[in-house]
Amino acid sequence: MMKTYEINSLTNEKIKSWTKLHQSKYRRETGLFLAEGEHLIQEALKAGLVETLIVLKDSPIEFDVDVRVEVTPEVLHKLCQTESNSECIAVCRLWDQPASLGDRVLLLDQIQDPGNVGTIIRTAHSFGYDCVVLSENSVDLTNEKVLRASQGAIFHLPVIQREMKSAIEECRKNGLMILGTGLKHSIPLSAIPDCDNVAIILGNEGQGVRPEILHLCDAIVKIEINGFESLNVAVASGILCYRFRKP
User: What confidence tens digit (pLDDT) does each residue in 115-159 have?
Assistant: 999 999 999 999 999 999 999 999 999 999 999 999 999 999 999
DSSP 8-state class, residue 236: H
Sort strands 187-188 and 159-161 into parallel, antiparallel or unpaired: unpaired
- Rounded to whole angstroms, how far apart are CA atoms 59 and 70? 8
Judged against a pLDDT cut of 70, whether residue 100 lies above it is answered with yes
Architecture of domain 104-243: 3-Layer(aba) Sandwich (3.40)
Where along the chain do its domains lie?
Answer: 3-93, 104-243
Residue 86 or residue 11, greater confidence: 11
Identify the H or E element spanning 120: helix 114-126
Q: Provide the 10 A C-beta neighbour count for residue 167.
A: 22
Phi, psi of 160 (to 5 degrees): -130, 160
Same fold for the domain at 3-93 and the one at 104-243?
no
Residue 239 belongs to what H/E stretch? Answer: helix 233-243
pLDDT at 84 over 70: no
11/73 Cα distance (integer angstroms): 14
Which residues, at least 6 apart from 83, have a Cβ–Cβ distance to it below 8 Å? none
**Helix (H), strand (E) at residue 122:** helix 114-126
Residues facing residue 33 across a β-bridge = 92
- Alpha-carbon distances of 199 from 10, 83, 130, 139, 195, rounded to whole Å: 46, 37, 10, 20, 10
Residue 91 has pLDDT above 70, yes or no: yes
Fold topology of 3-93: 60s Ribosomal Protein L30; Chain: A; (3.30.1330)
Which of 28-42, 130-144, 170-184, 223-237 is predicted with the least confidence, judged by mean pLDDT? 223-237
pLDDT over 70 at 194, yes or no: yes
Task: Mean pLDDT check: name the lowest of 20-29, 73-82, 145-154.
Answer: 73-82
Q: Using an 8 Å Cβ cutoff, are 90 and 50 in contact?
A: yes
